[in-house]
Structure 1
Amino acid sequence: MTPFHLAFPVRDLDETRVFYGEVLGCAIGRSSATWVDFDLFGHQMSAHLRPQAAQAPSDGKVDGITVPIPHFGAVLLMDDWQRLATRLEARDDIDWLERPMVRFKDEPGEQATLFIRDPSGNALEFKGFRSLEQVFAH
């Protein structure tokens, strides 16, 4: 599998570096005065300074649970997902949208998931699967 690239707007690069670098544990790559790259579980995420970029979030439903649209994140193996969920739950500064849970229990594609917002209001979802073969199961 090859990594994807996503460019997304943020209001402040310093708080974005703290959130993605320290809170999520992403390695920080190249940067300038207007953008910074992060390694989000092997994927290239480019945060671009856009202080006036307002997102108009809407909600969708998945398995009866409200999810923010748009959102982005990463698919992880369950052990990695559990480590991330435990690290986030131990903090008191996380903007939770949906706390860690299991969706599609005992069905093909069963997955653990959690939703958070970064300091700029971008919604992130992290999914955990017991095997990657389950990612596209139906």
Structure 2
Amino acid sequence: MTSTPAAGVPDIPRFHLAVPVTDLAAARTFYGTVIGCPEGRSSDRWIDWNLYGHQFVTHLVDRPTAGEAHNPVDGHDVPVPHFGVLLTVEAFHELKDRLLAADTEFAIEPYLRFAGQPGEQWTMFFRDPSGNAIEVKAFADDAQVFATG
């Protein structure tokens, strides 16, 4: 059985990821309205989302998760843990514009890494309303996703 990939997503196996949130209504607004993820099944404790063709679930928790660490990368403090998706350059900029229009605060502003080098990529970090760190990337050449330099 094959499926058609979502816009901006290569035809590769999809992942499933579940993250904790402290407010389902805020998650519904952020993931559904700001990011534009179609909503799937839901209950009063969780919501399934189509995150660029991947199954992403927000699970309501009664208290926030423990603190986080940071890792210095390219002069930025990258939040750890974080999750994200790899998009086409066009889809990356479309999402960036949606986030800017929603006055999203970036943990790391959108920028181009490794310009003109192997692995050239756009990247940005932001948080959902529950504080989950999200990284979105777009490679100039998808064949360079695992480039070693």
Structure 2 residues without counterparts, runs of 5 or longer: 1-11
Assess if the C-alpha contact under 8 Å between 1:30 and 1:37 holds in 2.
Answer: yes
CA contact (8 A) 1:35 1:46 kept: yes
Mapping for residues 1-138 of structure 1, pairs under 5 Å: 1-92=12-103, 94-138=104-148
Q: For the residues of structure 1 that align with 2:37 and 2:126, how far apart are their CA atoms?
A: 15
Deviations 1:99-126 (A, max 9, x none): 1101122221011011100000000000
Distance in 2 of aligned mates of 1:7 and 1:91: 24
Alpha-carbon contact 2:68-2:80 (below 8 Å) kept: yes
Please state whether the residue corresponding to 2:31 is helix, strand or coil.
helix
> Aligned letter for 2:68?
P
Aligned pair count reads 137
Identity of aligned residues (%): 47
Residue 91 of structure 1 and its aligned partner are, at CA, apart by 2.5
Q: Which one-letter code corresponds to 1:130 in the other structure?
A: A
Structure with more strand by fraction: 1
- SS class of match (2:117): coil
Q: Is the 8 A contact 2:108 2:126 kept in 1?
A: yes
Gaps (5+ residues) in structure 1?
none
Equivalent position SS for 1:38: strand
For the aligned residue pairs, the C-alpha RMSD in angstroms reads: 1.1
Determine the C-alpha separation between the residues in 2 that align with 1:54 and 1:95. Answer: 20
After superposition, give the CA deviation of every residue in 1:27-72 in whole Å (9 maximum; x if it has no partner).
0001111111111111111111003132311101223322000001
Q: Is the 8 A contact 1:60 1:68 kept in 2?
A: yes
Please say if residues 120 and 141 of structure 2, whose CA atoms lie closer than 8 Å, have aligned partners that are also in contact. no
